[in-house]
Structure 1
C-alpha cells in the first residue's frame, strides 16, 4: 500500500491573478486519504469542485486549465507542481476566481 500525504493545517493567502489582474484568495486545506487534489471554486454559488486528473485538462494555451460541468480554473500548474514536489497527494484548494495563481 502506498503512503499518502496531506498538509497538517490549512494555509491561506491572496494576491493578484497573473493573467486576470483580479484579487484571488486561496485556502489550501488538509484532505482525507484517497481524495487527491481537488480545487473548489468558492466565488460561485453553489461552490463547485474539480478533482485533478488528466482527463479534466481542457486547455494548455499559456496555462493549464481544468474544468468540469462548464466550471473552470486556469493556471493550476504551479501549485500542482509544488504539491507534487513535496509529495503531497491529498488537499482541498479553495479559490475565489477562475484565473488562479499569482
Structure 2
C-alpha cells in the first residue's frame, strides 16, 4: 500500500507483442518506451516530485480517469509531451494551472 506522499507509475503494454517468441524484441521496445518517456519528462523539467504530481493530475484531467490503460490516450499523451518540447515553459505553466484546479 502506498502512502499518500508516494506515487506509482505504471506502463501498459500490449500482450500481443509480449510473448515467449518475442521476449528480446519486447524488452528492447519496452526499454525504449520507458527511456523515451523519462527523457521527455526530464527535458520538460517535470521530473521533480512536484512536477510528477502536476503531470499526473494534468493527464487525468485531460484524458480522464484510467487514461494510462487506453493505448490511444497514452499515445496522445506522449505526442503532447513531444509537441511541448517546442515551448517547455508554456507547457509547464499549462500543467501547473490544470493541476492547481484539480489537486487538493
Please give the range of the TM-score, normalised by the shorter of the 2 chains: under 0.3
Please identify the structure whose Cα radius of gyration is greater.
Answer: 2
Q: Which has the higher helix share?
A: 2
Q: Which has the higher strand share?
A: 1
TM value normalised by structure 1? 0.26
**Which one scores higher on RCO, CA 8 angstroms, separation ≥ 6?**
1
